Amino acid sequence: MSLLSARLGHTSLILSTGLAVWLILVFGSGLATYLNYTNFQRSHAALVQSRMHVVAMDLQQQIVANLDLGLRLDQIYDLARMVLHSVAEDPDIVGAGIHDTSGLRLIDTDSNVPPEVPSTWIVSPHQMKGHWHLSQAEYHVYGMPLFNSFNVPIGTLTVRYDRAVDEPVEAMLVMLFRNLLLTAFCFAILIIVGLTLLKRRFFRHLVDLTQRTVILPPSMTVQDHSVPAKSPLALRMEALVNTCDSIESRLRQVADGHGKPQILASEVAGAVSKAPPAAPLQDQQQNQVDSSTDENAAWRELNRGLRLLVALGLLMVLFAAAAVSTLAWLEFRERFEPQLHQKIDTLGQSLARSLERLHAQGIPLDRLKGVTTYFDHLREENPELAYVAIVKERGSSLEMRRSGSDYSNDSEEAAGDLLLHKSGAFPEQAWRYLQDAPLDGSHQDSRHEEARLLILKNFIDRTILLRAVDGSVVARLHLGQDRRFVDRMVREVWWDLGTVLLVILLITFELMLFVMNSRIRGPISAILSLSNQIRNGDFSQRLMVHGTDEIGRLSAALNASLDRINDFFQRMRDASRNNPDLRAAVVYLEQRVKFADSASATTVVGDRLAIIRWPFFLFIFAESLSLSFFPLFVEQLYTPMSGVPQGLAIGLPISLFMLVWALSLPPGGFWSDQVGRKRAFLTGAVIASIGLLMTAFSQGILDLMLWRSLTAVGYGLVFITVQGYVVDHSLPTQRARAMAMFLAVFFGGSLCGAAIGGIVSERIGFAPVFLISAGLGMLAALFVGRYISRSPANPSRKTEKLRVRNVLTLARNRRFLAMTIFNAIPAKMALTGFLFFAMPLYLKSLGLSPGDIGRVMMSYGLAMILLSPLVGLLADIWGRRHYFVLTGGLLAALAIMLITLQPGPIASVLSILLLGAAHAIGISPQLALVMEWSKEEIAEIGPGTVMGIFRLLERIGNVLGPIIISLLIAALGFSGAFTVFSVYLLISMLLFAGILFFYRKSYAVTETAKERS
């Protein structure tokens, strides 16, 4: 091999890892770019649609006024003029029309359109609750239903506007894409520099390892000794290679009939005993040296380097996403404000025409009734509108009240001026300007000759002259645009971006961990574990090969060597039937070495728990994409059902999913024990993906319930399988930590899925999101199929199907029963009843928007993600897991009681945070404690069945929580309901503590009696 090819081979693992990290970082930045784009697109579309709403509402009010006189649509004589006039109200409107409920056009500004509207414009009567919007190739369509005086739908008016309004969005997309390319280039430079620096300090062991194992001929002899092996890990691998080569060489001699079998067999056994042990290493130039300290230090150093690489990757993604977001919203302000000016102008012109029509009908402006109330309603619908006022002649300070330094609030009148109607505080600066402002049209806006702008510190005052029929000015209409509205909007968007950044960091973190574990840490750990197995005389295991880099080629070569070793031994065994000396050698080896061919060999894997994280996260992420919009999706499919209220019908698929999920856990745990975790995960993921796929094509609630039930079966099977996998591959002393990891991954996937799904659904609709979910579910199955090894056979594992006697067996375990009734069920009631059901309603009653409610609710998941791993670690270190469970339960009661002591948004945030912390403390060690307390039952009915029964029983709290909380709220209100529920949680924890105390006391007495006997 040439020096150049050797160098390329030496660095292929590091280069491929660097490429994988670069792709992950670009993916994270791309996700941030997409989410920024969708945020801007959503805000821009809402603003443009609100402009069209003003025009459509004005036209609708004119039509309704005629309908209230008893006229039909075809009897309104000036209907065509009304529609034509609406088109002139906004320069971006290209057409308008009216069609009946069957889709037949009654009138349209474009005479060349077909007589019937497209089928997508026809809305069924039970869906005609408000406006709708469609995007087509030539234009956008904004529709609004028309009802007669009996509230019967009779048609729809539509406003078509030019797609040129999307130019700011397209310009934003170009800018974001350009920034993404620049970010990707910067990432490449930073990764090259970072890997170069890390290679010298942390990854020298990896470099040495890849250099020593770059070429492996069939004999497994290391050829490249020109590169000094400085790393203990590399020496360990080289010693393993040489051991396999030595054993293979001797077995080949015996199998080929050369040499004395017994001598060669003893040499094989000696080579096995001299294989690289768990602690000491073989030094090829010295005698055996105990270098376990060096090897452990090298392993820790490599792990520190990997963790540092993950941390640097997260920092780079965070910085890039923040930079992209900042640039995006600076651009947003520049492009958003002109659209906002246009909306205020359209609103003002529409309002001015309505006032002028009333004045033309002989109604003086100063005698109009309900104008202030209408203005107040107008400002509520348009929060960017700070004030609306009608000023006769030069205005007046009449009825003005002081509300701050920016406003004129004195009660004195300015001579000759009169304020007719107003809503909101009129700014003093505008008032002083109007004292001297002429009515000759100076300072006019270029778009409308009757309007002019006044730029103030915090407002933009738009003045529109109201004229009589003879053209004389009778009053001025003032609309004040709040310049701080965009600032408030940007601040709200930054909260959204904070959510987006959190989601991006979580996804990037899981991907980075997966890459580091699957490509470097896991394979090296597996090779070291195989070395220990060979030291113990076990040649029955093989390595999983994940790639063609140096570690992958080393793993493949070791597997091939082990296959040849087992093949040579099988040839020895076959030839020993007629050869006593050879037979004695075979017996000698069988007593000291374990052989197995490739078909019956088991797979040795490094860190199994680290490998399962990403597939499980991806699966939960896929299923959670619909969490934020699923009720809305069900509402779309709703059709009136005889005897079933709409609210109940919409809730049925959700309730059925929870029920089927709970019922699937016990049989799923039993089946997972029987067939192995890998097969169970694959089966569950495929079933869930099929259910998600068919959900996208649901035509009604009944078939939706069927497919959601199928999804729940797969979801429950994966959920209980991963729990069993965690239990299988974690030591009892580390089980709480492992279950904390399980919970953190679960809530991380749920949080990310719900956030991303809501954003994506606004772009592509609800049904396509389910298609994406199905694809991601299958992708999770592919990861498991490739990276998770087949579970080893365990004939000694006792498994039982779910039977009543199994439940009764566990019910005789007092600690299990106390845990279930007084801890697990109340915890689930607090989760579903208080957090998921009551808190959204309570926060809405406080005036919080849906976005604010979502951000507040996220604090629970954040507390779970951040605290669960730490709590699991402390529970394993300190032991006494029941103290953690008790503490978590007491904190949960305190969290709910906190709202009753100090109601309000801040207390709500603290309450939810404290509840998340309480569940992180109490739930993380929960399953580990159940498994510890149920050892006898596990031996009798199996771990999967025990876990399934426990999860089934605790799901009773999921069902009862919303029902009980809703009844309490109806009877006592929010404060009373929360007080009663917190007292219930407190009493449950006190009973749980009392049962544990008396059980431990009786257990101590029993143990003392046994010792005396």
What mean pLDDT is predicted for residues 692-720?
A: 90
Nearest partner of 198 among 310, 295, 293, judged by Cα: 310
User: Three-class SS of residue 40?
Assistant: helix
**pLDDT confidence of 449, banded at 50, 70, 90?**
very low
Which range has highest mean pLDDT (283-287, 297-301, 539-543, 849-853)? 539-543
Q: Given a cut of 60, is residue 1 above it in pLDDT? A: no
Q: What pLDDT is attached to residue 163?
A: 87
Q: What pLDDT is attached to residue 389?
A: 85
Single-letter residue type at 128: M
User: Three-class SS of residue 160?
Assistant: strand
What mean pLDDT is predicted for residues 245-263?
A: 72
**pLDDT confidence of 772, banded at 50, 70, 90?**
very high
Q: Given a cut of 60, is residue 766 above it in pLDDT? A: yes
Distance CA 293, CA 283 (A): 14
Nearest partner of 891 among 924, 858, 865, judged by Cα: 924
pLDDT tens figures, 262-294: 666 676 666 665 555 443 333 333 333 334 566
Single-letter residue type at 715: Y
Q: Given a cut of 50, is residue 513 above it in pLDDT? A: yes
Torsion of CA 8, 11, 14, 17, to 10 degrees: 20
Domains of the chain: 47-164 (3.30.450.20), 608-792 (1.20.1250.20), 803-1012 (1.20.1250.20)
pLDDT tens figures, 47-66: 888 888 888 888 888 888 88
Nearest partner of 521 among 551, 489, 477, judged by Cα: 551
Q: What pLDDT is attached to residue 262?
A: 67
Q: Given a cut of 70, is residue 812 above it in pLDDT? A: yes
Between 586 and 918, where is the model more confident? 918
What mean pLDDT is predicted for residues 466-490?
A: 81
Q: Residue 676: left (phi > 0), alpha (psi -120 to 50), or beta?
A: left
Residues contacting 271, CB < 8 A, separation 6+ = 243, 246, 247, 250
Q: Which residue has the tokens 């019910």?
A: 811
Between 114 and 408, where is the model more confident? 114
As given in the structure block, the two tokens for residue 28 are: 């994270």
Question: DSSP per residue over 454-508, as a string?
Answer: EE-SSEEEEEEEEE-TTS-EEEEEEEEEETHHHHHHHHHHHHHHHHHHHHHHHHH
**pLDDT confidence of 405, banded at 50, 70, 90?**
very low
**pLDDT confidence of 813, banded at 50, 70, 90?**
confident
As given in the structure block, the two tokens for residue 998 are: 């008396």
Q: Calculate Rg over the CA atoms of the chain.
A: 37
Nearest partner of 165 among 330, 331, 47, 36, judged by Cα: 47
Q: What pLDDT is attached to residue 944?
A: 67
Q: Given a cut of 70, is residue 795 above it in pLDDT? A: no
Q: What pLDDT is attached to residue 938?
A: 78
Q: Given a cut of 60, is residue 115 above it in pLDDT? A: yes
Cβ(939)–Cβ(799) below 8 Å? no
What mean pLDDT is predicted for residues 155-179?
A: 86
pLDDT tens figures, 723-733: 888 877 777 76
What mean pLDDT is predicted for residues 928-941?
A: 78
Least reliable range by pLDDT among 151-165, 643-657, 914-928:
643-657
**pLDDT confidence of 372, banded at 50, 70, 90?**
confident
Which range has highest mean pLDDT (668-672, 711-715, 950-954)? 711-715
Least reliable range by pLDDT among 504-518, 639-653, 967-981:
639-653
SS (H, E, C) 693-713: HHHHCCCCHHHHHHHHHHHHH
Residue 641, phi then psi, degrees to nearest 5: -115, 135
Q: Given a cut of 70, is residue 911 above it in pLDDT? A: yes
Cβ neighbours, 10 Å, residue 109:
18
Residue 607, phi then psi, degrees to nearest 5: -95, 100
Q: What pLDDT is attached to residue 8?
A: 33
**pLDDT confidence of 850, banded at 50, 70, 90?**
low
Cβ(885)–Cβ(823) below 8 Å? yes
Which range has highest mean pLDDT (56-70, 335-349, 513-527, 889-903)? 889-903
Question: DSSP per residue over 509-553, as a string?
Answer: HHHHHHHHIIIIIHHHHHHHHHHHHHHTTEE-EEE----SSHHHH
Distance CA 893, CA 952 (A): 23
Q: Given a cut of 70, is residue 385 above it in pLDDT? A: yes
Distance CA 221, CA 231 (A): 19
Average pLDDT value over all residues in the chain: 75
Distance CA 179, CA 36 (A): 12
Q: What pLDDT is attached to residue 124?
A: 59
Q: What pLDDT is attached to residue 984?
A: 92
**pLDDT confidence of 227, banded at 50, 70, 90?**
very low
Cβ(104)–Cβ(115) below 8 Å? yes
Q: Nearest 5 degrees, angle CA 492-CA 496-CA 502?
A: 145
pLDDT tens figures, 479-504: 888 877 877 777 766 776 777 778 88
**pLDDT confidence of 777, banded at 50, 70, 90?**
very high
Q: Given a cut of 80, is residue 829 above it in pLDDT? A: yes
What mean pLDDT is predicted for residues 332-336?
A: 74
Q: Given a cut of 80, is residue 443 above it in pLDDT? A: no
Q: What pLDDT is attached to residue 217?
A: 36
What mean pLDDT is predicted for residues 805-817?
A: 79
Least reliable range by pLDDT among 224-238, 558-572, 675-689, 718-732:
224-238
Nearest partner of 464 among 343, 376, 353, judged by Cα: 353
What mean pLDDT is predicted for residues 69-76?
A: 79
Q: Which residue has the tokens 């609210």?
A: 647
Q: Residue 257: left (phi > 0), alpha (psi -120 to 50), or beta?
A: left
Q: What pLDDT is attached to residue 695?
A: 92
Q: What pLDDT is attached to residue 142?
A: 87
What's this model's pTM, rounded to 2 decimal places?
A: 0.72
Distance CA 678, CA 787 (A): 10
Distance CA 104, CA 82 (A): 19
User: Three-class SS of residue 686?
Assistant: helix
Q: Which residue has the tokens 């020298």?
A: 204
